[in-house]
Amino acid sequence: MKSKTMRVTTYFFKRMLRQILYGLGVVLAIILFSWLLSNRDTEFFANFKIQFGALIGFFAMFVALTPYADFKLLIQNGVSRRTFWLGRTIALVVINLLGQILDMILGFFKIGTPVAENSAAWQLYGRFFQSASLNWLIWAVLVLVGSTVTVLLASVVGSCFSLLTKRVRRYVFLALAAAFFLGIRLIAMVMTGDAVVHFAIWLRNIIYFLIGGTPNVGAGHFNPTVPFISLLVLCSAALVASYYVTQQFKIKNE
């Protein structure tokens, strides 16, 4: 890695970590405040389960949604769009993965939530192989790739919105909301009787295909191959899209 890319990545890593820790601090403060409001209930923390990885992933997603402020600072400091994108993406992915791995380690030592058993991926694929360790490995890979895809998609969405001016952004939000409700209304109007049934079956088959299951296979025994490949494809597409959109960034007059 070039030294400038390394410096930019380090900068993003530290800055994002600070932002995420700040977010975690706020969450912990709220929890503490709730505990105080509950008259320091001794059972409060016994029933309390927190997933740090999910929280870190959640905050990383928020950080990923707002790339323009970082872009402004870096272009002021002579950093190209390519290096900006690379450094930011690496930092985001690494922070997210570290959060997930931290969760797995804590789960392994039974600290906090036993992550695997409670996760959707485990519920679907946790018993596909005969070997427990292989199941665990597949689950871990799916969680890591899945959370990476989420963060990258957030980055794409944030980058797209960064291209728009404040006013256009407001219009787009309104248009999306209107399109969503109108779309649902339209589907409801068009589809009646058999059409609804056919659509529901088609949708169910698509979902089953994407998550690697069939109606007659019990949850936990779903095949992780298709979702794994889908996630990889989605990951690559998100990377390409975020790179392309970042290349269009420019300083706005606002």
Q: Compare residues 43 and 254 and give the one whose CB is closer to another protein.
A: 254
User: What is the residue whose two structure tokens read 């794409």?
Assistant: 156
Smallest separation, CB 26 to another protein (Å): 16
**250 near another protein (CB under 8 A):** yes
Q: Compare residues 22 and 199 and give the one whose CB is closer to another protein.
A: 22
Q: Compare residues 39 and 253 and give the one whose CB is closer to another protein.
A: 253
**77 near another protein (CB under 8 A):** yes
Q: Compare residues 10 and 165 and give the one whose CB is closer to another protein.
A: 10
CA distance 228 to 121: 11
**12 near another protein (CB under 8 A):** no
Helix or strand (DSSP H, E) at 238 = helix 225-247
Q: 109, exposed or middle or buried, with CB in 10 Å at 0-12, 13-18, 19+? A: exposed
Region near another protein per CB under 8 A, out of 81-89, 91-99, 132-140, 190-198: 81-89
**19 near another protein (CB under 8 A):** no
Which structure tokens are listed for 210? 């994407």
Q: Compare residues 39 and 76 and give the one whose CB is closer to another protein.
A: 76
Q: Which amino acid is at 34?
A: S
Q: Which of 16, 20, 56, 79: binder of another protein (CB under 8 A)? A: 79
CA distance 219 to 30: 36
* CA distances (Å), origin 86, targets 4, 30, 74, 79, 138: 11, 35, 12, 11, 28
Reduced to 3 states (helix: H, G, I; strand: E, B; else coil), residue 135 is helix
CA distance 83 to 194: 53
Reduced to 3 states (helix: H, G, I; strand: E, B; else coil), residue 194 is helix
**201 near another protein (CB under 8 A):** no
Q: Which of 39, 47, 78, 192: binder of another protein (CB under 8 A)? A: 78
Enumerate binding residues for another protein (CB under 8 A): 2-4, 7-8, 10-11, 69, 72-83, 247, 250-251, 253
